[in-house]
Amino acid sequence: MSICIVVIVLIGYVMALAGVRVIELAGLAPAPFCGMILADFGAKVIRVDRTKVAVSVDTQARGKQSVSLNLKSPEGVAVLKTLCIQSDVVLEPFRKGLLSMLGRSSEKLYAPLNLLADFAGGGLTCALGIVLALLERSRSGQGQIIDASMVEGAAYLGSFVWKSRSTGLWNRPRGQNLLDSGAPFYDTYRTADGKYMAVGAIEPQFYDQLIHGLGLKAADLPNQMSISDWPELKRTFTQVFAKKTQAEWSDIFDGTDACVTPVLPLDEAGLHPHNLQRRSFLSNAQGEVSPKPAPVLSRTPAQPSMSRDPFIGEHTHSVLEEYGFEPAKIEQLVSAGVVECNKAKARL
């Protein structure tokens, strides 16, 4: 048997969004995530921070630069307008219309696990909208406003659920449907060591391997799709899973198509063999682990910055120079408190 290995070498490639300039007004959750996505794929993202703020709360600052502006002053607003006019994208996280009311304070705190609305429904759909608008601009030469509503984005993500109600797939009370833990073969189960295994064996061929791995016989069990028997079948699965540790179940189901996998904490997810093989997680200069950008493009893949996150105002001087401000004008703005320049200090 001959084995053909194809090696693709990327030499000097330019990322998909190279040359795109983005102004991101500092905020929480969706907008910072959207900005990170754009930066990962090559855009130059400049985050506009407030003055007199020591530490940024942006945990998605990878690859961004920081300019510190006093947006409560007319001069600061004028600087922001100059930056916006010379950029391709402006990201603002406030409610609709608030950007025109600069100087008023409005921040909203979010729950920690807000993946569905903030990040998927908000940040990711916003990034999609920006890329679509940039693509359309290449044909029309005109820009447009992307109104990314987290509520509408989350609802759009749930299109499958909305459409499935008419098919009978999602018409039962909460927790009793096929995909919301109602089905015993689509749920999580506690193991002997207090950990969990996730089960998603819907298709008959996968379900057969699940039953085999659990050491059960199909003839002794109710029919897989007999909904009235699901509670009994779930009790059986619960008792069986509780007899072995997570590691033991992982060894049993590894390499099978039973769709049974360990539920891992964040600090162990990157060490799973699948994620190691795919190199799904990255470590930055501070030793922090985070997921790599997705999707993976074959010719112009993302190349996220692995350097530390920017200090607030670290790039104020260099960015303003790039946008046409003379050094004397920058010094004047600094003296007036319109902008702040915070140079990175060497740690000896």
Q: How far apart are CA 190 and CA 196, in angstroms?
A: 4
In single-letter form, the type of residue at position 54 comes to A
Q: What does the pLDDT look like over 12-27, one tens digit per residue?
A: 556 778 888 988 988 7
Q: Specify the CATH number of the domain 186-263.
A: 3.30.1540.10
Q: What does the pLDDT look like over 228-284, one tens digit per residue?
A: 999 999 999 999 999 999 999 999 999 999 999 999 988 898 888 888 898 998 887
Question: Look-up: residue for tokens 């219309």?
Answer: 97
From 86, 102, 112, select the one nearest 26 (Cα to Cα): 102
Question: CATH homologous superfamily for 21-152+308-340?
Answer: Crotonobetainyl-coa:carnitine coa-transferase; domain 1 (3.40.50.10540)
In DSSP terms, 65 is beta-bridged to 46
List, for the chain, all residue ranges whose pLDDT scores fall below the cut of 50: 1-11, 98-112, 346-348
User: Is there a catalytic annotation at residue 267?
Assistant: no
Q: What pLDDT does 108 receive?
A: 37
Q: What pLDDT does 297 receive?
A: 82
**What residue ranges in 250-343 does DSSP mark as E strands?**
260-263, 281-283, 289-291, 339-340
Q: What pLDDT does 95 receive?
A: 53
Write down the pTM of the prediction: 0.65
> Which pair of structure tokens corresponds to residue 330?
């920058």
**Residue ranges of domains in the chain:** 21-152+308-340, 186-263
* Cα separations in angstroms, 233 against 226, 245, 286, 299: 10, 20, 48, 48
Q: How far apart are CA 196 and CA 238, in angstroms?
A: 11
40, 49, 118, 309: which is the annotated catalytic residue? 118
In DSSP terms, 50 is beta-bridged to 69
